[in-house]
């Protein structure tokens, strides 16, 4: 998530808007400092020592592994809520429920149980976010359909 939101150009175009509340006079400086710190963290962890393609592929491998364990019930391990649900939902929601395009997001959104899981957990534990998302979605202009949904 840090890589796709702070480093990749499409993600940064979206993420940088979260700094709009910072006073104009220092906004550019704060954005730059935060992004530089995120790069430093990712470099120290070893992630930025790899190519974009390798980072994305590692992310996809990780999510494929997670999905092999994910049960078909309403929660990660089936019928009972566990601490793993908090972790998986946090990672999944920042990818599936945000407009930041990436190959990882495309993969996860192509997995129906990922999308329904993210929506179900958000609706159950963060109903105000689910309502806000529906309002935003209703307000978006719709492009003409050319077959299958994206």
Using pLDDT thresholds of 50, 70 and 90, give the confidence band for residue 128. Answer: confident
Percent of the chain with pLDDT over 70: 91
Q: 87: domain range?
A: 51-140
- Classify residue 147: in a domain, yes or no: no
pLDDT at 42 > cutoff 90: yes
> Residue 104 to residues 55, 111, 113, 135: CA-CA distances in angstroms?
10, 11, 15, 26
- Classify residue 70: in a domain, yes or no: yes
Same domain, 132 and 66: yes
For the chain, what is the domain count? 2
Task: Name the region of 147 (left: φ>0; alpha: ψ -120 to 50; beta: rest).
Answer: left
Same domain, 83 and 123: yes
Same domain, 56 and 104: yes
pLDDT of residue 133: 73
- Classify residue 45: in a domain, yes or no: yes
Same domain, 36 and 56: no
pLDDT at 149 > cutoff 80: no
**Calpha distance 31→37 (Å, rounded):** 10
Using pLDDT thresholds of 50, 70 and 90, give the confidence band for residue 72. Answer: confident
**DSSP helix/strand/coil, 105:** helix
**Calpha distance 139→119 (Å, rounded):** 19
Q: What is the mean pLDDT of residues 48-74?
A: 94
- Classify residue 148: in a domain, yes or no: no
Q: What is the mean pLDDT of residues 7-29?
A: 94
- Classify residue 145: in a domain, yes or no: no
**Calpha distance 67→141 (Å, rounded):** 33
- Classify residue 150: in a domain, yes or no: no
Using pLDDT thresholds of 50, 70 and 90, give the confidence band for residue 140. Answer: low
- Classify residue 114: in a domain, yes or no: yes
- Classify residue 26: in a domain, yes or no: yes
pLDDT of residue 142: 53
Same domain, 20 and 6: yes
């Amino acid at each position: 998530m840090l890589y796709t939101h702070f480093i990749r150009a499409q993600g940064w175009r979206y993420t940088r808007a979260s700094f709009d509340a910072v006073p104009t006079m220092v906004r550019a400086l704060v954005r730059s400092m935060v992004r530089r710190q995120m790069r430093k963290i990712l470099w120290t962890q070893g992630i930025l020592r790899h190519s974009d393609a390798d980072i994305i592929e590692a992310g996809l491998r990780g999510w494929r592994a997670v999905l092999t364990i994910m049960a078909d019930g309403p929660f990660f391990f089936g019928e009972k809520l566990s601490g793993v649900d908090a972790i998986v939902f946090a990672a999944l929601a920042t990818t599936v429920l945000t407009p930041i395009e990436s190959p990882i997001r495309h993969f996860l959104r192509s997995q129906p149980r990922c999308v329904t899981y993210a929506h179900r957990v958000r609706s159950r534990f963060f109903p105000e976010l689910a309502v806000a998302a529906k309002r935003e979605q209703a307000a978006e202009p719709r492009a003409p359909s050319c077959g299958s949904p994206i």
